[in-house]
Amino acid sequence: MTAYLRPRSLAEAVAARAAEPGYLVLAGGTDLMVNANHRPAPAGLIDLWRLPGAGEISLDAERGQLAIGAGATWLQVQRHPLVVRHAAILAAAAREIGALQIQARGTIGGNVANSSPVGDSLPVLLALEAELELCSVRGTRRLPYREFCTGYRTTALGADELVSAVLVPVAAPAVRLFWRKVGTRRAQSISKVMAAAAIHLEDGVVRRATVAFGAVADRPVRLAGVEAAVVGLAPAQAAEAARAAVAGAIAPISDVRSTSDYRLQVAENLAARMFSELS
Amino acid sequence: MVQAPPAPWIGASLPRVDGISKVTGRARYLDDLPAAGAWHGATVRSDIAHGVLEALDFDPAFDWSSVVVVTAADIAAQGGHNVIRLIQDDQPALVPVGGKVMHAHEPLALVAAPSRALARAAAAAVRPRIQPLPAVLSAKDALAGSVALHGTDNVFKSFLIRKGHREDAELERALASAALVIEGEYTTSPQEQMYIEPQAMMSSWHDGRCHIVGSMQCPYYVHKAMKTLLACKDDEVVISQSVTGGGFGGKEEYPSMIAAHAALLARKAGRAVKLVYDRDEDIAATTKRHPAWIRHRLGVDASGEPVAIDVDVVMDGGAYLTLSQVVLSRGVLHAAGPYRCPVVRVRGRVVATNHPPHGAFRGFGAPQTTFAYERQMDKLARARGEDPLALRKRLALRSGDTTATGQALTFSVGTDAVLAAIERAAGPPPQRAGRSLAGSPLRRGRGVCFYFHGAGFTGSGEARLAGRAAVAVVLPSGAEAASAAPVRFEVRSSSTDIGQGSITMFSQIAAASLGCDPQLVRVIDPTTDKVPDSGPTVASRTCMVVGRVVEQACRTLRGRLEAWRAARGPAAESLSLPEVAAAMARELASDGKELVELVQYEPPPGIVWDDDSYTGSAYPVYGWAACLVDVAVDLDTYEVSVLRCVQAVDVGKAINPVIVRGQIEGGTLQALGWALIENVIYKDGKVANANMTNCIVPTFADAPELETVLVEEPYPYGPGGAKGVGEIPMDGPAAAVANAVEDALGCAFDSLPISPEKIATALRQASARSDGKAGVP
Ligand SMILES: Cc1cc2nc3c(=O)[nH]c(=O)nc-3n(C[C@H](O)[C@H](O)[C@H](O)COP(=O)(O)OP(=O)(O)OC[C@H]3O[C@@H](n4cnc5c(N)ncnc54)[C@H](O)[C@@H]3O)c2cc1C
């Protein structure tokens, strides 16, 4: 029999996590339940669904950060005015996750902790230079999202930790955001390629850009080569420089959903598009 | 005699009889049925495509006393025959030890246990030992013949159609005389039916009989297969259809396999056993649409008039024959298209491979060959610089013309009406260049196609089947009788409602023919000891053929009722038809008789078909259709969006227009999915995408605006003029999409699905050929 714990506060949740490191953490269950048929029942579950306060979304004006509780569902994320205003591409990604039923149940914390190479929000968090708030009985720490995902479905999350919030810096008005999901179909679709970028354009040239891709490697990736190649260039030249820099930067695989050639070609096209769109 | 009102029920969009129970969740599918004490079955399968089953090892660590195990040995021990009876008795229910494993999802043994989890654990504790043999994993490999799976050449069945010539040399001369020959090679992919309810059966043995209830299209196919497998007589097996969540052909032949397994387990366990497939097992093991490889030559003279058509069709039948020869037959009979041409040769072969058997799927071979001939017609239009719709109008078959098999078309030919409907709906073509909302460049294009679909069984099939149906007058009983409820007219047929609306359609036909309210008609659930064999629920025949039988049974019954009333003089004159039925039924009941009318199908006159020469009337009548598709291709992602899809379909008569439109819209979306995104991927003979995540079908978000134009060219021998509609919408749209994508991009796409990956490759090759100078037009 699987034991079932339903903590009523974050404190209770981290205490449960510390006491039962072997139990599975359950949020919306939209990742967990898919595989339930194919693996042995867990010893126990710690159910975070509707944990009070876990889905709150607020603005930390002092830090200039949007704080999104890990328990926020994709429906809450996409509809929240603060997200729409300050992190529009996160709202856009949220609208393309699964479809309405999944968005009503799946959480941002689940997407982050599950850390699938095709998790749709992950390149967005990279491009926006988000941080995570991680909690345990030992205390709370902040970690740049960039350092969280350490490999194929592996993360820096401690065995006693929970993801408690996603912290997204509020983008400066001059920063232009780009997001594109290329999936197998229009909804309920696993990504073949995702591209996200935050581009700071000043006086008609790119000052700084953060460029991230998903589904093209064993984990979501920032492409430093592309970011370096575009600095100081006008959009049209930046587009060509970005296209050229993608080829050496990623080596996507072929699988039942797509081919490496296709993923690379589309990644090149989107790398160019995120800059050519600026002009 | 009161004159009957005109039949208002034909052509009325009455709500679905089963609608409320389905949308409220009250309908009980097999897995919802009460099954107290029933055990759960699980299937042990091969995971090797070809080999010899040397042994079944049973993990000694497992407690085998808690479960029941069935192997092939149990079948023979009870005097049964280890085959799934269909066309040829080649497929075993379970591979015996020492026997050949022919595909990677083949059943080898069965287990049943009190819980599903235990049954699964037991199945996992059976370890088949298989000595692998070299496998044949494509139709081309099968034809190369280095490994013989069937006979010496791996050809299960071949067909040859010749029109206007006797020898190959004459055909070649005709092609040589052509001013222009369009040559093409086409491939189509396997497709999963993806009915919403996975396959499921339950069996129990009581009253000295084997009872099987489950999700199926054809109760009498299962009945026939069980008699052989279990060595039972006709009345010793009873097959009942439970509420069925879709079939699309996928529940035509495979349910016999699951029924066999459930029955064998139930017999040995001495209790009811339920066998419900998981989605992944269902996708992997059950039948798919046959992948096809088609080569086509179309020769025209200088004026563009066809002089010869030559088609070579090869289908991958998979490991056993199952229904492949019938699928091939339909494919071949449609392969020359609905176009006039004096000289036609069509060759077809279906070959054995080590894939799981391919089987029935809406369209049944015709979508594959339609894709090829409608690509050919488009290429001809392009080569001649002729408008693609004008070309079709110029060459299409009309009343008085003859088909490739020499059938003279004399009635119900909707060619002009469907082409005119498409022309009217067309509007201006989409603007070629544009931008998507996401800022990507787009190329738009338009494609059309024209096609036909033979309704009912091929050739003499309907005569051989001799489908029957009955209508009976049932007196109210129990509480109903006390409340003076009227009689019910009970329609008895083995045709199954699998979501397509046949119960509602039969109710309307019966009500119209009897002249009564449809509320008084009840179409009973098909159970083999209560309904006659109406033939299978396939081939767009349920309305046209069985509906016709129901119509005739009702008319005959009505005639008897009216005669009865007339014979009783003025006293009976004021009686309504249901009152007459009640009185007459009571009279008969006192003699221990039932008031019932059983009718057998009579094929229309003049249907002559010769199986040896493959000439004559291939089908009693055809549905005719035309389709127009507008697409946009995203040049960043190579995704194709269907912007618009118009289908004009000649259905003879829409008994219930809402249901008919539903059939057309659903079939159209299924066809668009096959055109663009659907595929079953085999790796080493195994289905590599056996889940709904990766074996994808379109969602509503993928559905374009679907415009449906109903055309009604009545069929004189169909109920109210109706002919088949179930399959036709599946045949055409794939070609229309391919034609539209070629119009948009200037590259030909002759292999399905037209995936973004294929488009990316084609555009890269095209730009390499032109030195990268010219990209997309
Ligand atoms: C039909 C369908 C479609 C989908 N489509 C998409 C899609 O388009 N894009 C996409 O990215 N994903 C998709 N998903 C996957 C899934 O919906 C998302 O990843 C979702 O965000 C997961 O959130 P959840 O709350 O349901 O996670 P759960 O399933 O509850 O948990 C996922 C994992 O995260 C862990 N976890 C959850 N919360 C925490 C926490 N606070 N701290 C630590 N660990 C935690 C769990 O232990 C588990 O390992 C789809 C899933 C389905 C079933």
Tens-level pLDDT at each residue, chain A (279 residues): 799 999 999 999 999 999 999 999 999 999 999 888 778 889 999 999 999 999 999 999 999 999 999 999 999 999 999 999 999 999 999 999 999 999 999 999 999 999 999 999 999 999 999 999 999 999 999 999 999 999 999 999 999 999 999 999 998 888 999 999 999 999 999 999 999 999 999 999 999 999 999 999 999 999 999 999 999 999 999 999 999 999 999 999 999 999 999 999 999 999 999 999 887
Query: What single DSSP character describes residue B504?
Result: H
Which of B439, B688, B757 has the CB atom closest to A258's CB atom?
B757
Mark whether B204 and B57 lie in a shared domain.
Answer: yes
Is A186 in CB contact (< 8 Å) with chain B? yes
Mark whether B561 and B475 lie in a shared domain.
Answer: yes
Cα(A110) to ligand 1 centroid in Å equals 4
Is A190 in CB contact (< 8 Å) with chain B? yes
Q: Is B760 in Cβ contact with A257 (below 8 Å)?
A: no
Mark whether B628 and B729 lie in a shared domain.
Answer: yes
Cα(A106) to ligand 1 centroid in Å equals 5
Q: Which residues of A touch B675 (CB under 8 A)?
A: none
pLDDT at B4 > cutoff 70:
no
The pLDDT of residue B772: 52
CB neighbour class for B554 (10 Å; exposed up to 12, middle 13-18, buried from 19): buried
Is B749 part of a structural domain of the chain? Answer: yes
Helix then strand then coil, in percent of chain B rounded to 5, is: 35, 25, 45
Is B340 part of a structural domain of the chain? Answer: no
Q: Which two tokens stand for residue A192?
A: 């073949």
**Residue A166 beta carbon below 6 angstroms from any ligand 1 atom:** no
Residue B499 · residue B245 · CB < 8 Å: yes
CATH assignment at residue B104: 3.30.365.10
- Cβ neighbours for B519, distance < 8 A, ≥ 6 positions apart: none
Mean pLDDT of all residues in B750-755? 98
Q: Which residues of A touch B698 (CB under 8 A)?
A: 185
Q: Which two tokens stand for residue B101?
A: 């494993």
**Residue A214 beta carbon below 6 angstroms from any ligand 1 atom:** no
C-alpha–C-alpha distance, residues B98 and B146, integer Å: 23
Q: State which of B285, B307, B330 marks the end of a domain.
A: B285
The pLDDT of residue A117: 97
Query: In which element (H, E) is residue A170 found?
Result: none
Is B293 part of a structural domain of the chain? Answer: no
**Residue A161 beta carbon below 6 angstroms from any ligand 1 atom:** no
Mark whether B659 and B591 lie in a shared domain.
Answer: no
Cα(A57) to ligand 1 centroid in Å equals 18
Nearest CA in chain A to B702: A186
Does residue B181 come out as left (phi exceeding 0), alpha (psi in the -120 to 50 range) or beta? beta
pLDDT at B776 > cutoff 80:
no
C-alpha–C-alpha distance, residues B251 and B262, integer Å: 16
Report the nearest-CA residue for atom 51 of ligand 1.
Answer: A30
Is B88 in CB contact (< 8 Å) with chain A? no
- Cβ neighbours for B515, distance < 8 A, ≥ 6 positions apart: B4, B5, B7, B558, B577
Mean pLDDT of all residues in B612-630? 97
Which of A186, A187, A273 has the CB atom closest to B636's CB atom?
A273
Ligand 1 atom closest to Cα of residue A74: 21
Mark whether B585 and B631 lie in a shared domain.
Answer: no
Mean pLDDT of all residues in B438-442? 94
Is A269 in CB contact (< 8 Å) with chain B? yes
Nearest CA in chain A to B437: A180
Shortest alpha-carbon distance between residue B202 and chain A (Å): 22
Mark whether B635 and B710 lie in a shared domain.
Answer: yes
Query: Among A6, A77, A114, A190, which is best to mutate for testing ligand 1, by the most ligand atoms less than 8 A from CB?
Result: A114
Expressed in angstroms, the distance from the first to the final Cα of chain B is 73
User: Could you read off the pLDDT of B389-407 as tens digits, one per residue?
Assistant: 999 999 999 999 999 999 9
Is B4 in CB contact (< 8 Å) with chain A? no
Shortest alpha-carbon distance between residue A63 and chain B (Å): 32
Q: How many CB atoms lie within 10 A of CB B129?
A: 12
Q: Is B439 in Cβ contact with A261 (below 8 Å)?
A: no
Which pTM value belongs to this model? 0.97
Q: State which of B600, B632, B664 marks the end of a domain.
A: B600
Nearest to A106 by CA among A6, A215, A26, A161: A26
- At which residue do the structure tokens 């074996």 appear? B695
| Residue span of the structural domain in which B663 resides | 364-458+619-769
C-alpha–C-alpha distance, residues B151 and B173, integer Å: 34
User: What angle, rounded to 10 degrees, do the helices at B254-269 and B219-230 form?
Assistant: 50
Amino acid sitting at position B100: K
Mark whether B453 and B475 lie in a shared domain.
Answer: no
Mean pLDDT of all residues in B604-610? 91
Sheet holding B126-132, edge to edge: B100-101, B51-58, B126-132
C-alpha–C-alpha distance, residues A171 and A199, integer Å: 10
Mark whether B511 and B591 lie in a shared domain.
Answer: yes
Is B315 part of a structural domain of the chain? Answer: no
CATH code linked to domain A54-169: 3.30.465.10
The pLDDT of residue B3: 47
Q: Which residues of A touch B761 (CB under 8 A)?
A: 261-262
C-alpha–C-alpha distance, residues B641 and A157, integer Å: 41
Is B332 part of a structural domain of the chain? Answer: no
Is B576 part of a structural domain of the chain? Answer: yes
Query: Among A97, A163, A186, A189, which is best to mutate for testing ligand 1, by the most ligand atoms less than 8 A from CB?
Result: A97
Mark whether B370 and B453 lie in a shared domain.
Answer: yes
Mark whether B535 and B564 lie in a shared domain.
Answer: yes
Mean pLDDT of all residues in B60-81? 97
Cα(A273) to ligand 1 centroid in Å equals 29
**Residue A234 beta carbon below 6 angstroms from any ligand 1 atom:** no
Question: Buried (b) or exposed (e) across B730-754, using 16+ Cβ within 10 A?
Answer: bbbbbbbbbbbbbbbbbbbbbbbbb
**Residue A106 beta carbon below 6 angstroms from any ligand 1 atom:** yes
Is B339 part of a structural domain of the chain? Answer: no
Q: Is A180 in Cβ contact with B438 (below 8 Å)?
A: yes
Report the nearest-CA residue for atom 8 of ligand 1.
Answer: A97
Q: Which of B679, B757, B758 to mutate to test the interface with A (most CBs of A within 10 A)?
A: B757
Are β-strands B306-318 and B292-300 bridged in parallel, bridged antiparallel, or unpaired?
antiparallel
Q: Is B698 in Cβ contact with A258 (below 8 Å)?
A: no
Nearest CA in chain A to B699: A187
Q: Which of residues 653-682 of B touch A (CB under 8 A)?
A: 677, 681
Domain boundary assignment for chain A: 54-169, 175-276
Query: Among A31, A135, A154, which is best to mutate for testing ligand 1, by the most ligand atoms less than 8 A from CB?
Result: A31
Q: Which of A185, A189, A240 to mutate to test the interface with B (most CBs of B within 10 A)?
A: A185
**Residue A107 beta carbon below 6 angstroms from any ligand 1 atom:** yes
Q: How many CB pairs under 8 A join A and B?
A: 64
Is B420 in CB contact (< 8 Å) with chain A? no
Q: Is A99 in Cβ contact with B757 (below 8 Å)?
A: no
**Residue A162 beta carbon below 6 angstroms from any ligand 1 atom:** yes
Amino acid sitting at position A275: F
What's the domain count of chain B?
3
Mark whether B672 and B534 lie in a shared domain.
Answer: no
- The three-state secondary structure class of B32 is helix
Query: What single DSSP character describes residue A151?
Result: E
User: Could you read off the pLDDT of B121-152 as tens digits, one per residue?
Assistant: 999 999 999 999 999 999 999 999 999 999 99
CATH code linked to domain A175-276: 3.30.390.50
Mark whether B650 and B761 lie in a shared domain.
Answer: yes
Query: In which element (H, E) is residue B632 found?
Result: strand B621-634
pLDDT at B774 > cutoff 60:
no
The pLDDT of residue B1: 39
Name the least confident of A31-45, B436-450, B506-520, B715-729. A31-45
Is B437 in CB contact (< 8 Å) with chain A? no
Q: Which two tokens stand for residue B711?
A: 């055309």
C-alpha–C-alpha distance, residues B213 and B528, integer Å: 11
Q: Which of A182, A191, A261 to mutate to test the interface with B (most CBs of B within 10 A)?
A: A182
pLDDT at B480 > cutoff 80:
no
Strand partners, B624: B452, B650
pLDDT at B479 > cutoff 80:
no
Q: State which of B285, B308, B328 marks the end of a domain.
A: B285
- State yes or no: ipTM above 0.95: yes
Which of B635, B636, B694 has the CB atom closest to A257's CB atom?
B694
Residue B425 · residue B350 · CB < 8 Å: no
Query: In which element (H, E) is residue B741 found?
Result: helix B733-745
Residue B645 · residue B733 · CB < 8 Å: yes
The pLDDT of residue B2: 45
Is B652 part of a structural domain of the chain? Answer: yes
Is B131 in CB contact (< 8 Å) with chain A? no
